[in-house]
Amino acid sequence: MLVDDVRLIRNDSGVQASEVTVPARLTDALSRFLESHQDGARYEVAVSAPTLAAPLIVQDGRPVLLLTSVYARPLVTLDELRRDAARGAVRYVFSEGICPGPQYTTLPACSSADEWVRTHAKGCHRAARARDEARPPL
């Protein structure tokens, strides 16, 4: 719930910061890839967790579809994600990690949305990496 998110931030518990962080180099490469592959999508990308979304939001200022909140609470239903994908509102998903088992319900990688993406999507990380490696360093 949003109340829990706000409480975690306000009480400086550090829980929100214990999640995965995204290095600037990866954010830059991902941003370039997504910008050049939008093809009219409403969202820059769907993102499995707030900690993955934050760097892109700050850097790009484009809308993202956030799939889960703290403790992997769904913010978007699986039906909503399916509809957005089918109509082209979202073309890419940025997710991190694997689900070690169904008992890990508080991990974004174990959410129903993330599971659906892993089952139905094609990976594009190799294409994004190859394109980034072809660019000269900044």
**Residue showing tokens 């579809």:** 65
Identify the pLDDT of residue 24: 87
Identify the pLDDT of residue 120: 86
**Residue showing tokens 């190799």:** 126
Query: What 3-state DSSP class applies to 93?
Result: strand
Q: In this structure, what token pair is assigned to residue 66?
A: 């956030």
Identify the pLDDT of residue 64: 95
Q: How far apart are CA 112 and CA 15, in angstroms?
A: 22
Q: How far apart are CA 91 and CA 46, in angstroms?
A: 8
Identify the pLDDT of residue 11: 45
Write out the chain's pLDDT in tens, 138 residues: 444 444 444 444 444 444 567 888 888 998 999 999 989 999 999 999 888 899 999 999 999 999 999 888 999 999 999 999 999 999 999 988 888 888 988 988 899 999 999 888 877 655 555 444 544 444
Q: Which residues lie across from 46 on neighbouring strands?
A: 65, 93
Identify the pLDDT of residue 60: 93
Query: What are the residues whose beta carbons fall under 8 Å from the beta carbon of 8, sequence distance 6 or more?
Result: 15, 16, 70
